[in-house]
Structures are given as C-alpha cells and as structure tokens.
Chains A and B, each alone.
Chain A
C-alpha cells in the first residue's frame, strides 16, 4: 500500500515566522513530489514541485527533498495570514500516473 503521511496539525505560527510542513512517503521508487495549497471549500492549487534531492526555492516557498529518508518538506518564510490553509503533499509513483495525496496539514497564521 503506497502511503503519504502528514501531521494533520493544526500548525499555528505568528505572522512573519517560518512555517515548516513535513511529509513522508512509503514507496522508495517515487520520482516526483508536489505541494498543493487548499483553502476551505476550494480545490487544490499547485504551489511547488520537486524532483531531485536538495532544496528548491520559489519566492517565500522552499521545498526540500531527501529520497534516502523518504522525506519531503515545505518551508514558508515570512508567513502571512493569507497562507492559512491546508497544505497537501502529493507523490507521483513510478508505476503509475495518479497522485497519492497525504491528508494534509492545516496551517494557521495569526496576525
């Protein structure tokens, strides 16, 4: 059973702080990793993709991948109240084309 695990939270951080979201996955042959943001009542919005070990930065977002540890994370710098949402980790397995999603971590940024 291919699984993607996330801490459900809520993760609460003050405005301006760094939010750190973590995800582990079970299938060692996974190749592609994605972070989606989902506001309440809305559909998932792609914010980051990462394919190679190391860090990938895009604005205030940094994705980190460690395939040996089967671990992927998302850092949000200078967190804003508008970042308050559920963050979904998704993994694309080599054997298929469907994304396997974690259940998401709820982030709350207080002003």
Chain B
C-alpha cells in the first residue's frame, strides 16, 4: 500500500450513536493528522500525532471527540454521542516527519441522521 488508507469510506449513523474512524498512514511516516471538511467548507485541523503521542489536540471541537494511535501505525478517531453537526468528511494525512509535506487519505464521509 503506497498511500494513506481510511475506513470506512462512508458511515451513516443515528444521532447519539458512537462511531470509530480508522486511518492507516504511509509506512514509515511518523506524523499523522486528522482534519475535518464540512460540505462546501475548508479543512479544519483536529489533532496531530507524533509517534503514538498527541502533542497538539487543539482542534478537537468537543470532549465527544478523541483519538489514539498505536505506535507509528494505525490511528482511530472516535466520536461519541454523534450530533448532526458532526456530519462531514474526516480526512487523515501523514508525513515522514513533522513539518514535512502531508499526504491525504481518501477520507471517511460521515452522515449523522
């Protein structure tokens, strides 16, 4: 796998349910980022991982959002008690090191009914 992969590609859920979104970064990339893009809007930063620590969580919109990363591989973004305003495309990106070029995965489109 040459690029960043994300799953699922689409997720439809009911308001109040919890969801988990997964990201597999490019092999060897130490830095991993989550962004959100609402329909017709720009990309918003959510959280950054260096290895399995998260030095910057400043973009998480509320305590319903959390994320973790296992070593320098898979990351999971969890949204608890989903709300309709959480509907968006959630994008994961990785870079070889912090401050380097970031490469994006295909995204997960989340729809909260």
Q: Which residues of B contact A96 (CB under 8 A)?
A: 48, 56, 58
Number of A-B residue pairs with CB-CB distance less than 8 Å in the complex they form: 54
Beta-carbon contacts of A31-64 to B below 8 Å, as 1s and 0s?
1101010000011111001000000000000000
Q: Nearest-CB distance from B53 to chain A (Å)?
A: 13
CB atoms of A43 and B101 under 8 A apart = no
Number of B residues, CB within 8 Å of A: 24
Distance in angstroms between the alpha carbons of A99 and B48 in the assembled complex: 10
CB atoms of B42 and A104 under 8 A apart = yes
Number of A residues, CB within 8 Å of B: 22
Q: Assuming A34-B101, A104-B42, is B91 touching A98 (CB within 8 A)?
A: no
Interface centre among B33, B56, B101, by most A CB within 10 Å?
B101
B105 within 8 A of A: yes
CB atoms of A98 and B99 under 8 A apart = no
Q: Nearest-CB distance from B62 to chain A (Å)?
A: 18
CB atoms of B42 and A43 under 8 A apart = no
Q: Assuming A97-B48, A97-B56, is B102 touching A46 (CB within 8 A)?
A: yes
A18 within 8 A of B: no
Q: Assuming A98-B48, A101-B42, is B56 touching A42 (CB within 8 A)?
A: no
A85 within 8 A of B: no
Q: Nearest-CB distance from A98 to chain B (Å)?
A: 4
Docked complex: A87-108 residues within 8 A CB-CB of B: 88, 90, 92, 96-104
Q: Pick the 3 closest A-B CB pairs, nearest first.
A: A98-B45, A103-B42, A101-B43
What are some 26 contacts across the A-B interface (CB < 8 A)?
A31-B99, A32-B99, A34-B101, A42-B106, A43-B89, A43-B106, A45-B104, A46-B103, A49-B101, A88-B43, A90-B43, A96-B56, A96-B58, A97-B31, A97-B50, A97-B55, A97-B56, A98-B33, A98-B45, A98-B48, A99-B45, A100-B45, A101-B42, A101-B43, A103-B42, A104-B42
